[in-house]
Copies of this chain bind each other. A is one copy, B any other.
Amino acid sequence: MTISEENYIKVIYHLSLVSPKGVNTNAIAGMLDTKASSVTDMMKKLSDKDLVSYQKYQGVTLTEKGLHSAKMIVRKHRLWEVFLVDKLGFSWDEVHEIAEELEHIKSEQLINKLDAFLGYPAADPHGDPIPDAKGVIKKIEKQLLSEVEINASFHCVGVKDSSTDFLKYLDKQKIALGSVVKVIDKEDFDDTLTVEIDGKRLTISNKIANNLYVQ
């Protein structure tokens, strides 16, 4: 499997989680910053290799084989992210790009030894679950901060949108995975929250609360 093929498989996997009936050409092109025609070409190739099932104009889904490949790529990506943050001291907004490269390193032995070295982590630095060596993903039960009841306490366990801007905002406010959050008050007009994070009081917009997972 080439790097390019792996990138297509990975994108189809992520889009499948949102639209499991079939992923359309334009969506893939958008994610990969390429053109729809290039996607069509690649779908034929991946279909020949039995990694996706594809019928003209009908969108694509991953085959069993393709799904497994996708999970292994995601596994590698997330394990490398843990390594970069826990061992090398990167902050969580810096690791995505580097992990995009590292996820294409081929050795299966490497990734399993890395997994052991890291202590078999369940989630990456953004709170996303890490598939095990067989591809099994343990679901992490979590709610968006925007949806929890008032006056209960939670732990931050992940982010929905992991764009650099959002992660930098969290860093600035000293919000990290594991931080304890308690919703003190919710404004009816615009859903702005007053929260207490690690004992510090903070006002948070609905957009922020809608991007932060708690448990």
A binding-site residues for B, Cβ under 8 Å: 84, 87-90, 94, 97-98, 101-102, 105-107, 109-110, 113-114, 117
Contacts and interface: CB of A to CB of B under 8 A. Distances in A.
| Copies of this chain in the oligomer | 2
A117 B89 CA distance: 9
B101 A113 contact: no
Given A84-B110, A88-B117, A90-B109, 13 more contacts: A87-B117, A88-B110, A88-B113, A88-B114, A89-B113, A89-B117, A90-B113, A97-B107, A98-B105, A98-B110, A101-B105, A101-B107, A102-B105
A109 to B, nearest CB: 8
Top 4 nearest A-B pairs (CB, nearest first) are A88-B113, A101-B105, A98-B107, A98-B110
